Structure 1
Amino acid sequence: MNWKRMTDQAIIEVLGERVKQQRINKRYTQKELAEIAGVNTNTIQNIEYGRSVSLSIFIQVLRALKLLDQLDSFLPDQGPSPMMVMEEQAQYQKRVRKPKK
């Protein structure tokens, strides 16, 4: 799927369809998923029909579907940049010198 060429609305619709497929695969009704996620049934319908919801609501639904681990592949932790690592290493003292007597 070429996400770059899609509008924001099209992406929301695809994500909603994927949430719907996950719900169906787990054999939840919209009402059951809403109860587990702690949201209203209309919220689940909004997600599945491609309507925008807040990120915190979306996370609640992902949690209810046990999909939070998928966020690592969605937005992986990059760790520190090579420049940051070099700067940190440069700050560490390389050796200790004692004054001459």
Structure 2
Amino acid sequence: MGYKNWKRMTDQAIVEELGQRIKQRRIHKRYTQKELAERAGVNVNTIQNLEYGKSVTLAVLIQVLRALKDLDHLDAFLPEVEESPLMVMENEAKPLQRVRKPRK
């Protein structure tokens, strides 16, 4: 399986790709759309919308990933930022609360 060039894809194309991947996972686990909807606590139309590339809420995506037992893949999707030892020392002195850009 090759890697996608996510940067070149439109937002809609990414939503559609994610929907197809959810569908592939559902089929691989031998769930019908109705079974997945019941496990996720959502309407079957919501599963259909997700699989057909229509936008759903982030909460729905999490519910579906949980029902597919795929939440552990979120670490690969968006890994935590690892701080260098120097950054840890700097942050211990004063933890970062917010980021402000200088005015031009």
Same fold (TM over 0.5): yes
Give every structure 1 segment of 4 or more consecutive aligned residues whose post-TM-superposition deviation is greater than 2 Å: 79-84, 88-91
Cα offset, 1:83, TM superposition: 5.2
Question: Is the partner of 2:56 in helix, strand or coil?
Answer: coil
1:41 corresponds to which of 35, 38, 44? 44
What is the match of residue 24 of structure 1?
Answer: 27
How many positions carry a matched residue from both structures?
91
Deviation, structure 1 residue 87: 1.1
Offset at residue 78 of structure 1 (A):
1.4
CA shift in 2, pair 1:61/1:85, >3 Å:
same
Aligned to 1:84: 87
Same amino acid, percent of matched pairs: 71
Q: Which structure has the larger Rg over C-alpha atoms?
A: 1
SS of 1:32's equivalent?
Answer: helix
Q: Which runs of 5+ in 2 are unaligned?
A: 95-104
Aligned counterpart, 2:5:
2
Measured after TM superposition, the shift of residue 88 of structure 1 is: 4.1
Q: Give the alignment partner of residue 65 of structure 1, picking from 61, 64, 68.
A: 68
TM-score (norm 1): 0.83
What is the TM-score of this pair, normalised by structure 2? 0.80
- What amino acid sits opposite 1:17 in the alignment? Q
Q: CA deviation at 1:90?
A: 6.5
* Structure 1, 2-11 or 81-90: larger mean CA deviation: 81-90
Which runs of no fewer than 5 residues in structure 1 stay unpaired?
92-101
- How has the CA–CA distance of structure 1 residues 90 and 56 changed in structure 2, closer, same or farther, with 3 Å as cutoff? closer
Q: Please give the per-residue CA displacement for 1:15-67, whole angstroms capped at 9, x wherever unaligned.
A: 00000000000000000000000000000000000000000001000000000
